[in-house]
Structure 1
Amino acid sequence: MAATGEASVVELRPWHPHAWGLAAVGAGLVGVVAGLVIALFVQRDDLGPYRYHLWRWQAETLPTMLVQVTGLERRPSEEEQRRAIEAYFALTSRIRAELDRPQPDLTLVDALVRERAAYEGTVEFAIRERVTKAIEASGLPEPLPLFRDVRVVWPPVAFELTSPPQLLVVSPRARIERERNVLLKDGLTLGEIEAIEAKTDTADRVSIVVPLGGVAAYPAIVRDDRSYASMLETAAHEWVHHYLAFYPLGLSWLRGAEGEILNETTANIAGAKLAQVATQLFPTELPPGADGSAPMRPPPAIDFRAEMRALRLEVDRLLEEGRISEAEAAMEAKRRYFVEHGIFIRKINQAYFAFYGTYADQPAASSPIGPKVERVAELSGDVGTFLRLMRTVRSERDLDTLLAKLERAAGR
């Protein structure tokens, strides 16, 4: 359904930021101070040495972020941006290829990382601008509260390329639920990860440490060692979280699993679509082996999505019936099956599904929310309309109501 056809179906209200929205920047500064106080005076648990403190990240990047969002930084030329992108992602491919070897030369890797750092700022600028232009082209800029004729991208696209933290996820054994999440420092060894998981696991709780592609702090944390296409999509994904924070959908995150699934699925879909718009606006041809991707491997002989989806449904059924040990045996058997077919997954347990199931458009999910949000995106016609419709959704019930209206309009 085209964007122009939605006005008669769903009311698209103009942007009137609430007081809490306008106070977000001040709240961020308060958060930095509060984080410092907590870190200095509160001993939380034995994960202390491994914890990642987000307030420190925000404090360290605040000056750079202010320069970015106020437009005071130097603007690289188009040629500078092109050269930086080519060099940065060619170096990333070389780094990933070296690390993929049985015995990588870590001295060489360190040298390549240092060389790549010279291009980082220009690449950040280029991707930030490309995502911003995609947002503008999608009709998402909003009028300023006191200057209705001035429309801006809000919040401004802001991110830093770096190694993101890892995430400790804890779930009950008897059901799949993100009961606890703890950000951990990046660069943990396998031994440290396994020790953390062993300390966290109990008779009725299981855990897993998972890597993150990005974190929707402000500025966002975006992984620095991925392909150009992946980086573009992650930057857009994290901006969608920033955008939704000013609307009912973003606030629904605080209400538990349903809100998390709605937000992550919407950000996954909208982030991918904004990245597609950016790619159309800024065609970028990077040769294979120099686009930041990992070394090519033969495609697996199995359908990973179908196998993982079937496993999730089986585990849901077994847990519903109280057959916990059988569910865990099924997960381990499938993990070994994946490894035998060239797909390495270190651990599959309830916490694994609790994390990856949050993204309801992914094979590890079993929530019906994913197909519904995908259908809204299909009927919306474009990413701008999709986000303006989804931002008012507070629950799956709201989603069902919205989808019913769109389906009726599509059937006319």
Structure 2
Amino acid sequence: MAFGTPSLSLAVKWAIRGLLGTAVVILLAVGNTDQPHTPHYRWFLAAQPHTFNIAVWMANELILGSGATAPVVSADATNGLGSNPTAEYARAVATEVELAARIEQLERRGAPADAARAELTAARRRTAELAPIAERQLATLIGGVAAEHGLGWSFLDRLFPPVRFRFQSPPHMLVVSRRDAIGIVGAVPLSPELERSAMSAIEQRAEQTAVSALVVRIGGLATYPAMVPPSSEARWLVTTVAHEWMHNLFTLRPLGWRYAVGAEPDPRVIIMNETAADVAGSELGAVAYRRGFGTQPATAETVPVASPPNRLNAELRRVRQRVDELIERGEVGAAEEYMRSERDRLESEGLYLRRLNQAFFAFYGNYAEGPGGGPDPVVSDVKTLRRRAASLVAFVEQISGLSSYQELRELLASGR
């Protein structure tokens, strides 16, 4: 995953799904709090009092929340909702972001910011008022388009699974890696609202168990209802909701049920799942956006994609290679000192990273992608299947019925 993008890397999505189940077990089996028996429980304690219980959040939303659900198989997405509540919501989010940036600038200069804070309070109130209306519009819009394309199932004239999501800042995550090998071994969900000082304190406590730790802000999380981060880009909101609904659909098929509970043993199947959700979600989102907003979104080929600074990725790729060499030789301390010094050097050159350690690389990847890296064969095969499929629903039925990469290869070889 390229540094700085808000979505999760495939590796960390896989780890988090499995480790969330572990976290539930930890919460239920408290045991002797003076002598924690497992590393995961110690990391959970290190994160107190800032943990975020995703299972409780989902239960509250499903039982108590209104739920932003697509109510019927075919419906006018804007009926009774105003002409464009999602666009209004996106503009309200943009206003919030602008006001927050203005307040930060005023505070840095020591200038009065009370008036701007009052404006921000009013803007947040407006965003909160618009959120459920925009959620309903998008759920109805995407649910209607999905049903018309034959996606999902119809039950008593209702789409199943229903399109359900919340505009919600996803949690932070405490990511844990071994020191002598880069790879995620633990993840603890944390509050969406977390001060930098709290992040540092959590990391320090976790590292008392002889691991490398990093608190990160993650992107959308395929819970049910899905968590979709607030955004000032209406098109991004439409596509993201469609993407997350595809994951919900895959959960009910061979492709996705093991991934949904964190039990998928093959990372290639995870790549199949994510790529299929990207492909199908983008197509579904494009149709929904055109219908709900009256304009055709530009295709991926014509949209300039914002990418992180090439120099930073190149620097991190070089650092990762050197770190791997040192760790392979057993020089863990030297690797950690090297990462600290490189972080300081990068900051002095205007490239800021809060922390650079094993957990950082475990979360963000090895930076091997690039002009010379070549495409992932699993991604290419999924896209080939879509090109061959007669329709979107045919593609979704084919890919979601697979449970292994070998089955995908055999399907492509058969020419069906």
Equivalent position of 2:49 in the other structure: 49
AA matched with 1:391: S
Task: Judge conservation of contact 1:249–1:259 (CA < 8 Å) in 2.
Answer: no
Equivalent position of 1:103 in the other structure: 105
SS state at 1:103 partner: helix
AA matched with 2:100: L
> 5+ unaligned residues in a row in structure 2: which ranges?
1-20, 34-40, 107-115, 296-305
- Evaluate the alpha carbon distance shift between residue 251 and residue 330 of structure 1 in structure 2; reply closer, same or farther with a 3 A threshold: farther
Q: 1:141 aligns with which of 152, 157, 165?
A: 152
Task: Judge conservation of contact 2:71–2:140 (CA < 8 Å) in 1.
Answer: no
Whether 1:377 aligns to 2:382 is yes
Task: Judge conservation of contact 1:233–1:272 (CA < 8 Å) in 2.
Answer: no
Query: Residue 49 of structure 1: CA displacement?
Result: 1.6
- Evaluate the alpha carbon distance shift between residue 370 and residue 164 of structure 1 in structure 2; reply closer, same or farther with a 3 A threshold: farther
Whether 1:354 aligns to 2:356 is no
AA matched with 1:378: K
Whether 1:277 aligns to 2:284 is yes
Q: 2:123 aligns with which of 83, 108, 112?
A: 112
Q: 1:266 aligns with which of 252, 267, 273?
A: 273
Equivalent position of 2:14 in the other structure: none
- Evaluate the alpha carbon distance shift between residue 281 and residue 46 of structure 1 in structure 2; reply closer, same or farther with a 3 A threshold: closer
Whether 1:243 aligns to 2:252 is no
SS state at 1:221 partner: strand
Relative to the length of structure 2, the TM-score reads 0.68
| Distance in 1 between residues matched to 2:139 and 2:283, nearest whole Å | 14
Task: Judge conservation of contact 2:87–2:234 (CA < 8 Å) in 1.
Answer: no
Equivalent position of 2:12 in the other structure: none
- Evaluate the alpha carbon distance shift between residue 381 and residue 109 of structure 1 in structure 2; reply closer, same or farther with a 3 A threshold: same
SS state at 1:224 partner: coil
| More moved, 82-91 vs 188-197 | 82-91
| Distance in 1 between residues matched to 2:277 and 2:346, nearest whole Å | 30
Q: 2:137 aligns with which of 126, 130, 138?
A: 126
| Distance in 2 between residues matched to 1:98 and 1:123, nearest whole Å | 22
AA matched with 2:90: F
Query: Residue 120 of structure 1: CA displacement?
Result: 0.7
Task: Judge conservation of contact 2:222–2:244 (CA < 8 Å) in 1.
Answer: yes
- Evaluate the alpha carbon distance shift between residue 402 and residue 56 of structure 1 in structure 2; reply closer, same or farther with a 3 A threshold: closer
Relative to the length of structure 1, the TM-score reads 0.69
State how 1:209-248 maps to structure 2 within 5 Å.
209-225=215-231, 227-248=233-254
> What are the superposed Cα offsets for residues 65-111 of structure 1, whole Å, 9 maximum, x if unpaired?
56836559x98735845432232212212222233344364443222
Task: Judge conservation of contact 2:68–2:139 (CA < 8 Å) in 1.
Answer: no
> What are the superposed Cα offsets for residues 295-337 of structure 1, whole Å, 9 maximum, x if unpaired?
xxx9876355555555555544544443434544554466556
SS state at 2:151 partner: coil
Equivalent position of 1:294 in the other structure: none
AA matched with 1:86: A
The alignment's C-alpha RMSD in Å is 4.3
Task: Judge conservation of contact 1:309–1:365 (CA < 8 Å) in 2.
Answer: no
| More moved, 158-167 vs 244-253 | 244-253
SS state at 2:252 partner: coil
Q: 2:400 aligns with which of 380, 391, 405?
A: 391
| Distance in 2 between residues matched to 1:312 and 1:139, nearest whole Å | 46
> What are the superposed Cα offsets for residues 235-260 of structure 1, whole Å, 9 maximum, x if unpaired?
23322332232233334435668546
- Evaluate the alpha carbon distance shift between residue 203 and residue 165 of structure 1 in structure 2; reply closer, same or farther with a 3 A threshold: closer
Query: Residue 196 of structure 1: CA displacement?
Result: 0.4
SS state at 2:173 partner: strand
Task: Judge conservation of contact 2:52–2:191 (CA < 8 Å) in 1.
Answer: yes
| Distance in 1 between residues matched to 2:374 and 2:161, nearest whole Å | 27
State how 1:118-197 maps to structure 2 within 5 Å.
118-136=129-147, 139-142=150-153, 153-197=159-203
Query: Residue 180 of structure 1: CA displacement?
Result: 1.1
- Evaluate the alpha carbon distance shift between residue 278 and residue 151 of structure 1 in structure 2; reply closer, same or farther with a 3 A threshold: same
- Evaluate the alpha carbon distance shift between residue 80 and residue 140 of structure 1 in structure 2; reply closer, same or farther with a 3 A threshold: closer
| Distance in 1 between residues matched to 2:336 and 2:163, nearest whole Å | 42
Identity %: 23
> What are the superposed Cα offsets for residues 215-239 of structure 1, whole Å, 9 maximum, x if unpaired?
2222112112453233333323322
Task: Judge conservation of contact 1:76–1:122 (CA < 8 Å) in 2.
Answer: no
SS state at 1:248 partner: coil
AA matched with 1:97: E
Query: Residue 56 of structure 1: CA displacement?
Result: 2.8
- Evaluate the alpha carbon distance shift between residue 346 and residue 120 of structure 1 in structure 2; reply closer, same or farther with a 3 A threshold: same
- Evaluate the alpha carbon distance shift between residue 299 and residue 178 of structure 1 in structure 2; reply closer, same or farther with a 3 A threshold: closer
- Evaluate the alpha carbon distance shift between residue 41 and residue 83 of structure 1 in structure 2; reply closer, same or farther with a 3 A threshold: farther
| Distance in 1 between residues matched to 2:232 and 2:267, nearest whole Å | 25
AA matched with 1:103: Q
- Evaluate the alpha carbon distance shift between residue 198 and residue 187 of structure 1 in structure 2; reply closer, same or farther with a 3 A threshold: same
> What are the superposed Cα offsets for residues 3-56 of structure 1, whole Å, 9 maximum, x if unpaired?
xxxxxxxxxxxxxxxxxxxxxxxxxxxx9xx99x94999966353421112233
